[in-house]
């Protein structure tokens, strides 16, 4: 961990944390709009196979891109730490390194698009017509991959600096560009499914250009635009810094795969309990996703405020920042639980007309309503450990929590059926929090040691 390089800065207030979290909530809620708009447009102009193809291909890209979400998380943590340590060169270096890494990985996707496409569609049971349409969408949208992944790093860099309003602005640009281009390509140029993919790819590149427009003035306000980079450009490729970046991203990547595996198993376990259980749980998972959009906002801000404190090597600041952000997160978790409990039946009725799916969703709704409360500690501790760049801990904690969840599911589901499935799922969230909490003493010890070393060297 970096040593403290200057006076301790004030810890972000609850008001600042809330103001920083609100734009992230809005940006998170806007994120699914790209896929929703594509499906809605093709639904009014294409066939049933076209609709299914776009939905399937959009799912492929969601999984593909989400697997590399470490680009956002790593950028947030390392940028916040550099900002907290007062190291302006590293603040700028994290932007450049993260964006270049995203461009590199995205370019690999473009080069390897054929095997990625064939493997992705081989995992689904599709008709020839649906597969052909889905591949047409894939073949055009894949060209936006470098911009999408570089955008992850830029988005994380802005959050790391606490510039959540700018991050929201970029998300708005992306969605507006996607909507306008999709309408033009589908209705104006009559390009069908392939045009939708092309519109999404072009929107991602326009979004990247907009990022440059936002970032350059921001850098100028922080000091001369070329500060340190002209004379120290070789340090951008310094082996130790690159090794740290890759190590953090590798561990978060493995942690993300384990998280995806847990949710994949929940769907598989639901199917094993019957199609009706799967249908009901599919509705409830949408509620969980929306809840996560809200609570993740506080986790993102936690990454920033704790990352700054970790960059200064100051434990009291880190602890206070974590507590303040977590207090607000718990309040929102309580509100979300209350909302799901009271409004859940109306939302379920609005989402489906199928009586069996409704009945199953209503039966398991009380368990679903507890997820925000059960999960808020895991979200916040994730934010803390990302901010402190404890990637190895996060990886090991998620693997241990996944093993605990699978064992709990094997024990409870045979006895309690669908209710056992949900009890195990709630246990998964608690296990994630419990395993992450084991890293609290070590984090405190490391920061105390850094403080002592900094004091001795003063």
What is the C-alpha end-to-end distance of the chain, expressed in Å?
Answer: 17
Tokens 């198993």, residue located: 265
DSSP per-residue string spanning 190-243: --HHHHHHHHHHHHHHHHHHHHHHHHHHHHHHHS-TTTTHHHHGGGGG-HHHHH
For 92-150, write each residue's pLDDT tens digit. Answer: 888 888 898 899 999 999 999 999 988 888 876 567 777 788 888 889 999 999 999 99
CA distances from 80 to 2, 95, 160, 306 (A): 12, 11, 5, 8
Residue 294, token pair as written in the block: 């809200």
Mean pLDDT for the chain overall: 82
pLDDT at 319 over 70: yes
How far apart CA 55 and CA 332 sit, in angstroms, is: 31
Residue 313's nearest CA partner among 85, 44, 60, 16 is 85
Instruction: Please say if the pLDDT value at position 9 is more than 60.
Output: no
Separation CA 17–CA 242 (nearest Å): 30
pLDDT in tens, 326-361: 999 999 999 999 999 999 899 888 766 778 878 888
Q: Can you give the pLDDT at residue 4?
A: 41
- In the chain, where the domains are located: 8-237, 238-453
User: Does 3 score more than 50 pLDDT?
Assistant: no
Predicted pLDDT at 337: 95
Q: Scanning the structure block, which residue is given the tokens 């680009």?
A: 71
Polymer length in residues for the chain: 458
pLDDT at 233: 57
Per-residue pLDDT at 323 exceeds 80: yes
Please list, in sequence order, all residues whose beta carbon lies within 8 angstroms of the beta carbon of residue 23, skipping any fewer than 6 positions away.
164, 165, 167, 168
| pLDDT attached to residue 325 | 92
* Mean pLDDT along residues 425-453: 85
Q: What angle do CA 318, 307, 436 make, to 5 degrees?
A: 75
Is it the case that residue 45 has pLDDT exceeding 60? no
In contact, 373 and 333? CB cutoff 8 Å:
yes
Q: In sequence order, what are the residues at sequence separation of 6 or more whose Cβ sits closer than 8 angstroms to the Cβ of residue 347?
A: 287
Closest Cα partner for 382 from 425, 342, 444, 325? Answer: 325
Q: Give Rg (Cα) of the chain.
A: 23
Which are the contacts of 403, defined by CB distance < 8 A and separation ≥ 6?
none
**Cα–Cα dist 400/390, whole Å:** 16
As a whole number, mean pLDDT of residues 24-41 equals: 69
**Closest by CA position to 215, among listed 45, 318, 390, 91:** 91
Buried b (16+ CB within 10 A) or exposed e, 228-249: beeeeeeebeeeebeeebeebb
Q: What percent of the chain has a predicted confidence (pLDDT) above 90?
A: 29
In whole angstroms, what is the distance from residue 170 CA to residue 164 CA? 10
For 383-443, the DSSP string reads: HHHHHTT-HHHHHHHHHHHHHHHHHHHHHHHHHHTHHHHHHHHHHHHHHHHHHHHTTHHHH
Q: 61 pLDDT exceeds 90?
A: no
**Among all chains, which residue has been given the structure tokens 């790391």?**
160
The whole-number average pLDDT for the span 19-34 is 77
More confident residue, 232 or 30: 30
Tally of CA atoms within 13 A in the half-sphere of 98 that contains its CB: 31
Distances (CA, A) of 235 to 35, 62, 225: 40, 34, 17
- Of 284, 257, 281, 256, nearest to 267 by C-alpha is 281
Rounded CA-CA distance 310/242 in Å is 19
pLDDT, position 1: 41
d(CA 457, CA 443): 21
Q: Determine the Cα–Cα distance for residues 271 and 282; give it in Å rounded to an integer.
A: 10
Pairwise CA distance, residues 266 & 412, whole Å: 13
DSSP secondary structure letter of residue 125 = -
Alpha-carbon dihedral of residues 101, 106, 108, 113, nearest 10 degrees? Answer: 170
Confidence class of residue 231 from pLDDT cuts 50, 70 and 90? Answer: very low
3 state SS for 289-341: HHHHHHHHHHHHHHHHHHHHHHHHCCHHHHHHHHHHHHHHHHHHHHHHHHHHH
- Cα angle: 136, vertex 141, 142; to 5 degrees: 100
Q: Containing H/E element for 150?
A: helix 145-160
């Amino acid at each position: 961990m970096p040593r403290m390089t200057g006076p301790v800065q004030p810890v972000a207030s609850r008001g600042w944390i809330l103001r920083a979290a609100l734009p992230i909530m809005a940006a998170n809620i806007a994120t699914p709009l790209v896929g929703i708009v594509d499906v809605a447009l093709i639904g009014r102009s294409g066939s049933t196979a076209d609709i299914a193809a776009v939905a399937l291909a959009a799912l492929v890209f969601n999984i593909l891109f989400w697997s590399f979400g470490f680009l956002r998380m790593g950028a947030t943590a390392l940028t916040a730490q550099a900002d907290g340590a007062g190291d302006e060169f590293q603040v700028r270096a994290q932007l450049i390194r993260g964006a270049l890494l995203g461009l590199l990985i995205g370019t690999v996707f473009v080069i390897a698009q054929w095997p990625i496409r064939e493997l992705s569609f081989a995992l689904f049971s599709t008709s020839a017509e649906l597969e052909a349409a889905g591949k047409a969408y894939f073949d055009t949208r894949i060209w936006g991959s470098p911009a999408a992944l570089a955008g992850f790093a830029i988005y994380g860099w802005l959050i790391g600096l606490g510039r959540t309003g700018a991050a929201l602005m970029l998300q708005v640009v992306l969605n507006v560009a996607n909507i306008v281009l999709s309408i033009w390509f589908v209705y104006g140029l009559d390009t069908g499914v392939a045009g939708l993919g092309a519109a999404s790819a072009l929107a991602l590149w326009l979004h990247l250009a907009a990022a440059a427009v936002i970032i350059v003035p921001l850098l100028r306000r922080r000091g001369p635009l070329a500060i340190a980079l002209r004379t120290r450009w070789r340090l951008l490729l310094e082996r130790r810094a690159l090794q740290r970046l890759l190590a953090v991203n590798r561990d978060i990547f493995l942690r993300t795969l384990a998280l995806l595996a847990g949710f994949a198993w929940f769907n598989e376990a639901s199917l094993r309990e019957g199609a009706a259980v799967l249908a009901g749980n599919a509705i409830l998972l949408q509620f969980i996703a929306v809840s996560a959009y809200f609570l993740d906002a506080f986790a993102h801000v936690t990454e920033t405020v704790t990352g700054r404190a970790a960059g200064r090597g100051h434990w009291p600041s880190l602890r206070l920042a974590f507590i303040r952000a977590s207090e607000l997160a718990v309040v929102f978790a309580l509100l979300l639980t209350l909302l799901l409990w009271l409004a859940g039946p109306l939302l379920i009725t609005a989402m489906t007309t199928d009586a069996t799916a409704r009945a199953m969703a209503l039966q398991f709704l009380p368990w679903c309503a507890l997820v925000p409360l059960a999960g808020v500690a895991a979200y916040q501790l994730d934010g803390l450990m990302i901010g402190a760049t404890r990637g190895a801990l996060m990886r090991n904690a998620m693997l241990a929590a996944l093993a605990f969840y699978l064992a709990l599911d094997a024990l409870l589901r045979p006895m309690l059926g669908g209710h056992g499935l949900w009890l195990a799922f709630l246990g998964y969230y608690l296990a994630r929090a419990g395993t992450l909490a084991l890293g609290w003493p070590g984090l405190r010890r490391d920061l105390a040691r850094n403080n002592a070393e900094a004091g001795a060297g003063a």
